Structure 1
């Protein structure tokens, strides 16, 4: 989820023309300029998964809330989730309608930001950040017997959870982990002492020469509804083994983390936020530490991006968003394109 447009790159000014169909069929993607997956609604922050041989995308649903823009992301005032599916890259994309609505989450206050999903024990799980009635972001979880929902939310948030951008990764041994965190409007900086500081910094801690604020990770319980341990820091190191510093805005973690595994290596990718890169680091454990490797994707049009990486039918793809349809930071559209690895497993940097 993004939180500011003050340093926005030049956004395209093509306006959406009010599509209403619940199913749309985009042109096959051009490697130079992929098309939005759907244009009848605005979508962002796509978490893509393969369930039963089919691609399912769990995005945010951007709406025009007519809320003033600020550094805490008040203008990202989403109220529900739609789930998309596709049988083939470049093929028909189906919108399955509302899978979960804000009004059906007993403890929620406002702002349903970037979700993720998982499958285990015959159940599909939808994880979501939303501000509670005290305006503090917590993680919720909802369940369904179908990957497209509808999902029923648990009556309370996950104990010990906070901040935004859940990403759930299930390892080859069956253990599942949640990665989370985002600074500025994501409130991660307000938890740096372990307790929420309501009047804490609205941006970051401005400690440029100290280790940067880190994403968090916790192993999930077998029922996938709670943490099996306290949240831990994710350490991102440079090639010399030193932690990335708060002032290293081109490489530090900001928000939008994602985990995937390739040939026994763990790849933690994330947004650098105010410098607009998607960066990645690799490690030998789902807990890290992770060594910074480089830029996965250069800046998109818009303020920042939020992505997921998935293998589908023998190829690897990145799902991400930009603002092609509207030119507005808070009204985005999801895209997909293939990613390429070098023989050593590192990525060929994408320039969208």
Structure 2
């Protein structure tokens, strides 16, 4: 459909709105590019340049810069503010949703190239967001799991204890004990898990073949390469590694100059991380969630007031973490938030019912 020869005032107002939105999107990509380097920076700057071309299209239609321009939409302004202050993955996830809602498909004054650009932008931003999600998946999963575990388990504990008719002091003691017990359990479990994994990798990758001396046996490079191929190296890497070991052995060295124990070229510590660091982060993440249900009793509230406030605080926290998961995963934030809320409150409801059934008067 061809645009009418004479645009209406409504058309011009719409062009002005498109202009400010394109400028806002350009600034988002430019600010994100400032926080990145290499290929990702170049991609983001290319997106910004495309948005600049779109700006120019609307400026040409308007004839000149309008004396008064409307404000960009709230979501665009929030996105621009976040782009300069937070990690790019969260902003990219929001930008992905924004790019999916292009108005140009139904806009007769937009060029076919602009419509195609918007579709390409969505795919590019989705690809960048996917990169960030892969980098973030392990640590983010651990953070959400730790905090939610603390939220849900301690809420269920204090609600269940409170339903028995126990005193506020006993509920508070139970909540603090649950926090410490859960956080210590999480930290100890993470420490043992990471330490065991480090020891397993070290034992698996310990290069006993590199301890060979020239006098021990007639070392054949091809035979020795089979050792490394069995450990997962490819044929070229295995042969090169075997040659270094043989050369070192023939020179009388006790070990080849290959440095510390490594797993496919990456140090064990780099693969699994620090055991103490993992333990501390698990402890703190669990504790940060577990303290929230106990806050009403810490501040001296009791009875139904404390229970209701605890439910409200935990509900807000569950909705927040659920929405964050939804945004970062590219899924609907509201659906993820409500799912988190249903799981947390469902667990609390079960323990509350048990507390009513087995209620006792604890002085």
TM score, norm. by length of structure 2: 0.19
Higher normalized contact order (CA 8 Å, seq sep 6+, divided by chain length):
2
Higher share in helix: 2
Between Structure 1 and Structure 2, the one with more strand by share is: 1
Give the structure with higher Rg (CA): 2
When the two structures are superposed, what TM-score results if normalisation uses the length of structure 1?
A: 0.19
